[in-house]
Structure 1
Amino acid sequence: MGTHDSFRDRISHRRIPIVALVTYGIALLAWVAIVGRWLPMPGGEMDAKTHISDPGVPEAMALSNGMAGIGLYLFMWGVMMIAMMYPSSVPLFRLYSKTLERTTTAGKAVRVGAFLGTYALVWTLVGVVPLVVNALVPIASLASAHGGLLMGGTLLLLSGYQLSPYKHRCLRYCRSPLGFLMSHHRPGVRGAVRMSLQFSVFCIGCCWALFAFMVIVGSMNIVWMAFLAVVLSLERTVAWGEHLARAIGLFVGAVGFVVIAISIL
């Protein structure tokens, strides 16, 4: 009981939110790089009818250029994940920083840096998944030939997961950074890496279906990226986030059925 009280005292102490400012600054730079098209694109040729924001095009371009293309794609994906995921994770980053009150400034910077870096690295590696899927089933060709069925099926997948108990179990961890730190806190740099890995798993469990939808509508479609970033941030930070997740599940499920019906008729 005494340990928990001490822990709460440390994270309730107010201070200038430097960690929050740094995190928001990094996310802002990522968004500027994306919107400004500063990121090096995976090589490859596109015909006049295709665009980098079209479904499956970035993945196809990356795969057509071997390891260099894959590396550029993962870099691009990692920047996208920082832009989309860092802002909604600021409450956890701040709370973790506040548990390090008795650590030197350098020690705190290393631990917080390890936490943020591990989080970004895990989300970057998630970019391997759309590449593997596209290697097995070319999304661009499928979207061109059966766009309605692909979109409808993806919406039903998203709906089913949004309403599933696993989604809401992971979402509760993402929505309760204090609870996560209370149950998973570990000391030292290795502890920071381990906690970040554990939190990343919950984040992936919470958001993977939304990102699957993003890949289907176009992983470099900036409008959809911004919209989904707002949705997942609201799910994770506002009081009615869990209700929003369920409402989205019901809505996209209904839309999915309509899209499939229209495609079949």
Structure 2
Amino acid sequence: MSAVLRAAIERTTDRLPTGFDRTTAVVTAMLGLDAVWWLLLYGGHVPMPGMEWLTMEAEIPMAAPGAMERGAAHVGTLEAIIGYTVMWGVMMWAMMQPAMMRFTREYVASYRGSASGAVRALASFLVGYYVVWMASACVPLLYDIVLPGGIYGVTRTHTHVVIGSVLVLTGLYQLSRFKRSFLRTCCATVPAHVDGVPQAIREGLYHGVRCVLTCFGVFFLVMVFVGEMNLVWMVALTGVVTIERLPTWGEEIAVGIGLVSLAAGVIVLAIQPPLPLAFTL
């Protein structure tokens, strides 16, 4: 490289805004990680307990409501529960990664320290955040234990009542002050910080809990009862949780989604139209 070209590159780099390299790197890394989670999930590289029983003996489609929970329950071992938890965690990481793009960018941009310190802080933050979403697997597992016949059984027997009810409940949750207050603060501007590893992990845990509560209606009502491995719903709900975090009018989108969900639930309960849910192969 000539001395003239090197000098030109250095002058250009000097003019770049502070934090440009860090924030670009974060966005790129988050996109790359998201691609990894989706590839792991749909390449079959995550544990799926009871899959052979589901497809060969029970003849339950993987995308059916409660199918994955039925598979784990059928195996019934601690290893199966851990495997299900890992599968759920990877799935939730894949779906939440786009929604977290802006926050992680702001987190690194607000870090007041070296680039290596920012990398350590963000990695530690994500560890705490990912742990919370993996632990949230206990919610659908609890549903499957409590409901008669599990998620699969109750949804297959009372399809319109269950789907209509979860849509209505999700609509009410979306419209609640509780949900909207969490949404307003979930992706608020990140203050200047110099988080070390322990503090960053705590921040990740705290933010993860708030994200779970913010998304509870979308993921732990709608998604669980339409089938968490249903690709169409996964993509649609990923879009929902991402766009409702837009900085200026995300709350309006959340309210709009709540109204649509509420209306859809009433229609399902009253008219009982055909629903795109498959319970058998």
Relative to structure 2, which stretch is displaced further, 160-169 or 32-41?
Answer: 32-41
Aligned to 2:151: 139
Q: How many residues align?
A: 248
Aligned to 1:189: 197
**TM-score where L is the length of structure 2:** 0.82
**TM-score where L is the length of structure 1:** 0.87
Aligned to 1:95: 106
Choose from 175, 183, 202 the match for 1:171.
Answer: 183
Q: CA deviation at 1:207?
A: 0.3
Please tell me the root mean square deviation across aligned C-alpha atoms, in Å: 2.0
> 2:161 is paired with a residue of what secondary structure?
helix
Please give the alpha-carbon distance, in whole angstroms, between the structure 1 residues aligned to 2:44 and 2:120.
31
Q: Which 4+ runs in 1 deviate beyond 3 A?
A: none
Aligned to 1:111: 121
Please give the alpha-carbon distance, in whole angstroms, between the structure 2 residues aligned to 1:238 and 1:114.
25
The answer (yes or no) to whether the contact 1:35–1:222 under 8 Å persists in 2 is no
Q: CA deviation at 1:38?
A: 3.0
> Match for 1:14: what amino acid?
G
Q: CA deviation at 1:259?
A: 1.1
Q: Is residue 2:43 matched to residue 1:36?
A: yes
The answer (yes or no) to whether the contact 2:174–2:255 under 8 Å persists in 1 is yes
Aligned to 1:254: 263
In structure 2, the gaps of 5 or more residues are 1-16, 274-281
Q: Residues 63 and 99 from structure 1, CA distance in 2 versus in 1: closer, same or farther, beyond 3 angstroms?
A: same
Please give the alpha-carbon distance, in whole angstroms, between the structure 1 residues aligned to 2:247 and 2:121.
27
Aligned to 1:8: none
Higher helix share: 1
Please give the alpha-carbon distance, in whole angstroms, between the structure 1 residues aligned to 2:249 and 2:118.
33
Superposed counterparts of 1:55-134, under 5 Å: 55-65=65-75, 66-103=77-114, 105=116, 107-134=117-144
Relative to structure 2, which stretch is displaced further, 136-145 or 29-38?
Answer: 29-38
The answer (yes or no) to whether the contact 2:63–2:229 under 8 Å persists in 1 is yes
Choose from 245, 250, 253 the match for 1:236.
Answer: 245
Q: Residues 238 and 108 from structure 1, CA distance in 2 versus in 1: closer, same or farther, beyond 3 angstroms?
A: closer
Please give the alpha-carbon distance, in whole angstroms, between the structure 1 residues aligned to 2:143 and 2:256.
28
Aligned to 1:14: 19
The answer (yes or no) to whether the contact 1:77–1:124 under 8 Å persists in 2 is yes
Relative to structure 2, which stretch is displaced further, 46-55 or 121-130?
Answer: 46-55
Please give the alpha-carbon distance, in whole angstroms, between the structure 1 residues aligned to 2:194 and 2:254.
31
Aligned to 1:151: 163
Larger radius of gyration: 2
Q: CA deviation at 1:238?
A: 5.3
